Amino acid sequence: MESVGDPEITPQEARQGSPDRVVTLTDGVFAIIMTILVLDLEIPGTSDGQSVAESLRDLAPTFSAFVISFLLLGMYWVWHRGTFAQVRYTDYRLVWLNLLFLLPMSMIPFAASTLGSHPRDATALQLYGAILVAVTLLRSLLVWYLHHHMGLLWQAPSRKARRMSTTAAAAPLVLYTIAILIAAPAPLLSTLLYLAVPLIYTAVVLFLKSDARTAGAAQDIS
């Protein structure tokens, strides 16, 4: 376990470096983003003779975009929660990297609203994917930074744990890229790939944590 006397941390940085405010801000941003998502779920007026059932059917694409986005946000929040549970100190660069990570994250409601209004439009699907790619790249950068400044952590992870954590952070890029590329010829499949990311990711993490061969290294992956 690293101590306050670690050469990477000065006494002043140790006093200012509690991760609590970073985590509080991040939790608040996630809560606001998740709340904003639901605001698009509004049944259109039925004054033109359309029944409530018909209005609900028309709302299906918006509801699908909401569910996909909520699950993806949940995946990233669980990761952030687990990652910052390992952080003992934050420095100036880590704080800014976390803010940059939140920048594309806060654009997910905009992308979800666009996708809900134009569920088969290639540009809407590609915009959604581009924002998720940006989120994942910044997440990977944040992980890389922590692995190269392990004095910020409570305990330095093993090489195997760092490799698994880095792979887990970047892995969604594969499905996001495929979803972007097939958005025009296969918009439904593109949408399903976005939905698949949090489901596959969670299943893989649970498997790694339960398998005796990887459980130790995967303990801090979330």
- Give me the mean pLDDT over the 186-210 stretch: 94
pLDDT of residue 3: 38
Query: For the whole model, what pTM was predicted?
Result: 0.89
Distance of CA 160 to the CA centre of its chain: 23
Positive or negative: CA dihedral 48, 52, 58, 63:
positive
Contact 159, 6 (CB under 8 A): no
Binned at pLDDT 50, 70 and 90, residue 1 comes out as very low
Q: If pLDDT is split at 50, 70 and 90, which confidence band does 213 have? A: confident
Considering the domain boundaries, does residue 16 fall inside one? yes
Residue in 132, 27, 128, 119 with CA at minimum distance from that of residue 64: 119
- Asked whether residue 17 is assigned to any structural domain, the reply reads yes
CB 62 within 8 A of CB 116: yes
pLDDT at residue 151 greater than cutoff 60: yes
Q: Which residues have C-beta within 8 Å of that of residue 12, sequence separation ≥ 6?
A: none
Rounded Cα distance, 208 and 211, in Å: 5
Residue 139 falls inside a structural domain: yes
The answer to whether residue 160 is domain-embedded is yes
Q: What is residue 41's predicted lDDT score, i.e. its pLDDT?
A: 80
CA 91 – CA 17 distance, rounded (Å): 6
d(CA 81, CA 75): 10
Number of CB atoms found within 10 A of residue 111's CB: 21
Asked if residue 122 is part of any domain, the answer here is: yes
Please report the pLDDT score of residue 102 as a whole number. 97
pLDDT interval class at 170 (50, 70, 90): very high
Residue 116 lies in a domain: yes
Torsion of CA 132, 199, 74, 119, to 10 degrees: 50
Range of the structural domain that residue 114 is part of: 11-42+50-210
Residue 2 counted as domain residue: no
Residue 20, domain member (yes or no): yes
How many folded domains does the chain comprise?
Answer: 1
Low-confidence winner among 36-45, 70-79, 88-97, 200-209 (lowest mean pLDDT): 36-45
